[in-house]
Chain A
Amino acid sequence: MKRNSTLLMMGLALLVAAPASRLLAADELPKGDAIVDKYVEVTGGKAAYDKIHTMVTTGTMTFAAMGLKANVTTYHAEPNKTYTEIEIPGIGKMQDGNDGKVAWSLSAMQGPHVKDGDEKDQAMREADFNGDVNWRKNYKEARTEGKEDVDGKECYKVVMTPNTGKPSTRYYDTKTNLLVKVAMTAKTPMGEIAVESMIDDYRKEGDILMPHKTTLKQGGQQFTVSIDTVKLNAEIPAGKFDPPEEIQAVLKK
């Protein structure tokens, strides 16, 4: 399913801090690909994932320090289509989408943007509907680098190297094998931004154990994305993934 880094790119907080975690012993470590595969297993298994073809979520995005709370709706469909809409009071609507060919973003504040290069590659990876199950399609290596403590949980530190672009680092709880943290450098038009996502509140949706809360830290600021409702195999309105008029106009230029 889609990771929250797309939401992050749409976020307002723009500054970064990445607290270092304590490096633990790196002996007798399971292989990275085994850890990533096990994550799929502990969250429901490939067969359960394969039964899901679309997903619609609603939730909120909270910038506590700024006193802002936005409504977030996401649509996601196989194989790699996404549409996210964030309505922020005082800012208006921010949209981000991917129809499998064109990845884009649009807001009154910044205008239309068609992604390309590394930014597009990143968006395409994140749009992969069953990205966790089929991670080998997008990543050439998953390498375990050791164990680290993340908020009191001992975690495997797995460096994921994508086919293109910079590696990201995932932290899997050694006890549950659930993903608890992702650290990455997000490629945005405004520059490269180091981002840390703390992943939490795993709950079952259908047969899948799914995180419902992600806290994103960038530049000393943080915001939280909470998922309130999840509809699996929901019917998605026709045209939902089509790039809007403003994006079409940019594409025609």
Chain B
Amino acid sequence: MSFRLAVTAAVLVSLGIAADKPLTEDQRRLNVESFEHVWTTVRDRHWDPKTNGVDWQAVHDELRPKLEKAKTMDEARAVMSDMLSRLHETHFAIEPADLYDDLGSDDAEPGKEKPSREGNPGITLRVIDGRALVTEVDADSPAARAGVKPGWEIVKADGKPVAPRLKKIQAKFATSTLLDILSERSVASLLTGPSGSGVKITFTNGDNKPVDLTLDRVKPRGVTAIFGNLPPMNFWVESKKVRPDIGMVRFNIFFQPDQLIKSVQDMVGACRDCTGMIIDLRGNPGGIGALAMGLAGWFTEKGGQQLGTMITRESKLNFVIFPRPKPFRGPVAVLVDGCSGSTSEIFAGGMKDIGRARIFGTRTAGAALPSVFERLPNGDGFQYAIANYISSGGKQLEGSGVIPDEQVKLTRQALLAGHDPVLEAAVAWIEPQKK
């Protein structure tokens, strides 16, 4: 969930105030209210009451006069961003409007209904080396029926070119661990829409030729998971043997505990004598945090271990592992990428730290914290974290992500050739360990 919040926070809509226009008196007042709201929220809700040793009152007293002198929205935002930057934490941000459309927010534009993003043509994508590439095509989906293949590049969707928006995101988030996930979300938002609608996509195929296709958007695979106030999300889990003696489980989100854990339990049961097991968390943005503990319990028999600790202002919560009665004892590989966030990172980072898994792929999104986003009185977005999370090895995952033991990237060539180099690297590590 924190992933979703993190990304959403980065895409909050503004009230459409042009950045470079002089502010009206009303806008100035709203900016002051926003400044005070941000400052007070950090004072009252940051997990460290001492705000990381920063004299928060002094920051207020220094910056409030500057905020009052701000002549444009950009200047006002810069002052508030400066305030948050003093914390030296990720997940504290003021997000302006100009990235809103490009990042594919789920928020409604003022005065309009929230856009439906339920349907998609059955395409999973990643932005690799600045290009939006199809990495997977759902079986029996409109994309599959139209002959779309992994490795094809998405060039345009409904007339909107992909490259310029990716360049803008690259420029803004070049050094952020969120770059991959924001880029993916941006392009994915062009493909999604109401079920039953169509999307015209221009691809570059494996022969580097343009292919124009109009694909129907359909309900995504899996079941609709409902969890409290959160918007409905689709959940799927699949387990299979990628080799006769190597099991694999992958799922798109940490939801539906009964269904997820049952699948893992069944695979562990069917794979009792397997050489190894692979947990594929690529593209998995997280979900219910406690499920990381429940999943880990299938892969260790040693009690008293923990994946990490979540620290709030009032408590420290250890993410303890309760070993299942008959856990899998062989080698475990966890696959991750820049679109693995939150609970995926808690699981992967913790399993790595306790020495129970080897991690393959690319660095994760570094978005492990539960964060909250709010709209400020001036219309900008304000994101703040309400906890810190330290993996059992003492590392803060936020902003740095889980760095794989074996860094392996997908490439267009590999995708076009039907290869998955990350999975293959994991298999290559497991196979020699056969007894």
Listed in ascending order, the chain A residues whose CB lies under 8 Å from chain B are 12, 14-18, 63, 65-68, 89-93, 107-113, 189-194, 218-220, 246, 249-250, 253
Given contacts A108-B261, A108-B294, contact A17 B314 (CB under 8 A): yes
B416 interface contact, C-beta 8 A: no
User: Does B312 lie within 8 Å of A111, measured CB to CB?
Assistant: no
Pair A253/B325 contact, Cβ less than 8 Å:
yes
- Selected contact of A190 from candidates B230, B319, B387, CB within 8 Å: B319
Query: CB < 8 Å: which of A18, A90, A193 contacts B255?
Result: A90
Shortest distance from the beta carbon of A110 to any chain B beta carbon, whole Å: 5
**Which chain B residues (201-239) contact chain A, with CB distance < 8 Å?**
225-230
B87 interface residue per 8 A CB criterion: no
**A190 in contact with B317 given A108-B261, A109-B257 (CB within 8 Å):** yes
Inter-chain CA distance A67–B313, complex, in Å, is 23
Contact of B318 among A68, A90, A189 (CB under 8 A): A189
Give chain B nearest CB distance to A166 CB in angstroms. Answer: 15
Chain A residues with CB under 8 A of B312: 15-16, 219-220
**Which residue in A15, A67, A92, A190 is a CB contact (below 8 Å) of B229?**
A67
Among B227, B228, B318, B322, point to the contact of A191 (Cβ < 8 A). Answer: B318
Quick one: which of B256, B293, B315 contacts A110, CB cutoff 8 A? Answer: B293
Q: Is B60 an interface residue (CB 8 A)?
A: no
- Min CB–CB distance A188 → chain B (angstroms): 9
The 4 closest A-B pairs by CB, nearest first: A249-B325, A67-B229, A16-B314, A90-B227
Asked if B323 is an interface residue, CB under 8 A from chain A, the answer is yes
User: Quick check: B315 and A109 within 8 Å, CB to CB?
Assistant: no
Q: Are B320 and A190 in contact (CB under 8 A)?
A: yes
Task: Tell whether, in the assembled complex, residue B288 and residue A111 are in contact, meaning their CB atoms are under 8 Å apart.
Answer: no
Q: Is B324 an interface residue (CB 8 A)?
A: yes
B140 sits at the interface (CB 8 A) = no
Within the assembled complex, what's the spacing in Å between the Cα atoms of A23 and B290? 38
Query: Does B314 contact A111, Cβ atoms closer than 8 Å?
Result: no
Collect the chain B residues with CB atoms within 8 Å of residue A67's CB. 228-230
B168 at the interface (CB under 8 A from A): no
Output the least CB separation between B314 and chain A (Å).
4
Q: A67-B229, A109-B257 are in contact. Are A191 and B325 (CB under 8 A)?
A: no
Asked if B297 CB lies within 8 Å of chain A CBs, one says: yes
Tell whether A220 pairs with B314 under 8 Å between CB atoms, given A67-B228, A107-B257: yes
List residues of chain B with CB within 8 A of the CB of A190. Answer: 317-320
Per the 8 Å Cβ criterion, residues 113-152 of B in contact with A are: none
Asked whether, in the complex, the Cβ of A15 is within 8 Å of the Cβ of B325, the reply is no
Closest-by-CB residue of B relative to A189 is B320
CB-CB nearest in chain A for B326: A249
In addition to A90-B226, A109-B291, 4 A-B residue pairs with Cβ atoms within 8 Å of each other are: A16-B312, A110-B293, A111-B323, A246-B324
Min CB–CB distance B388 → chain A (angstroms): 13
B295-321 CB mask vs A (1 if < 8 Å, else 0) is 001000100000001001111111110
Smallest Cβ distance from A114 to chain B, in angstroms?
A: 9
Contacts of A63 in B (CB 8 A): 228
| Chain A residues near B324 (CB-CB < 8 A) | 111-112, 246
Contacts of B253-274 to chain A: CB distance below 8 A: 255-258, 260-262
Q: How far is the CB of A52 from chain B (nearest CB, A)?
A: 34
User: In whole angstroms, how far apart are the Cα atoms of A89 and B224 in the complex?
Assistant: 12
Question: Bound state CA distance, A228 and B312, in angstroms?
Answer: 34
Contact of A16 among B230, B315, B326 (CB under 8 A): B315
Q: Which residue of A lies closest to B235 (CB)?
A: A90
Q: Which listed residue, B225, B297, B319, B387, touches A111 by the CB 8 Å rule?
A: B297
- Give the Cβ gap from B351 to chain A, nearest Cβ, in Å: 15
Alpha-carbon gap, A249 to B265, bound state (A) = 15
Bound complex: CA A181 to CA B237 (Å): 44
Q: Which residue of A lies closest to B255 (CB)?
A: A90
Q: Is the CB of B256 within 8 A of A90?
A: yes
Q: Give the Cβ gap from A104 to chain B, nearest Cβ, in Å.
A: 10
Q: Assess A108 versus B315: contact at CB under 8 Å? Given A63-B228, A90-B226, A90-B228.
A: no
Return A142 CB to nearest CB of chain B, in Å. 27
Hey, which chain B residues are within 8 Å of A189, CB to CB?
318, 320, 322
Q: Given that A63-B228, A111-B324, A253-B325 are contacting pairs, would A15 and B314 also be in contact in the complex, using a CB cutoff of 8 Å?
A: yes
Tell me the bound Cα distance from A193 to B230 in angstroms.
26
Identify the closest chain A residue to B321 (Cβ): A111
Residues of B within 8 A of A194 (CB): 314-315
Give every chain B residue within 8 A of A111 (Cβ-Cβ).
293-294, 297, 322-324
Residues of B within 8 A of A14 (CB): 315, 317
Closest chain A CB from B218 CB (angstroms): 24
Q: CB-CB < 8 A to A107: which residues of B?
A: 257, 294
Tell me, in angstroms, the Cα distance from A67 to B319 when the chains sit together.
24
Interfacial chain B residues near A220, Cβ < 8 Å? 312-314
* A112 touches which of B290, B318, B319, B325 (Cβ 8 Å): B325
Residue contact B315 to A191, C-beta cutoff 8 Å: yes
- Note all chain A residues with C-beta closer than 8 A to B230: 67
Jot down 8 A-B pairs with beta carbons below 8 A, ordered by A. Answer: A90-B256, A107-B257, A108-B262, A109-B291, A110-B322, A111-B293, A193-B315, A194-B314
Query: Shortest CB–CB separation between residue B371 and chain A, in angstroms?
Result: 14
B293 surroundings in chain A (CB, below 8 A)? 109-111
Cβ contacts under 8 Å, B258 to chain A: 92-93, 108
Which residue of the partner chain A has the closest CB to B289? A14
The answer on a CB contact under 8 Å between A91 and B320 is: no
Instruction: From known contacts A66-B228, A91-B288, A219-B315, infer whether A250 and B297 are also in contact, taking CB-CB under 8 Å.
Output: no
- Chain B neighbourhood of A191, CB < 8 A: 309, 315-318
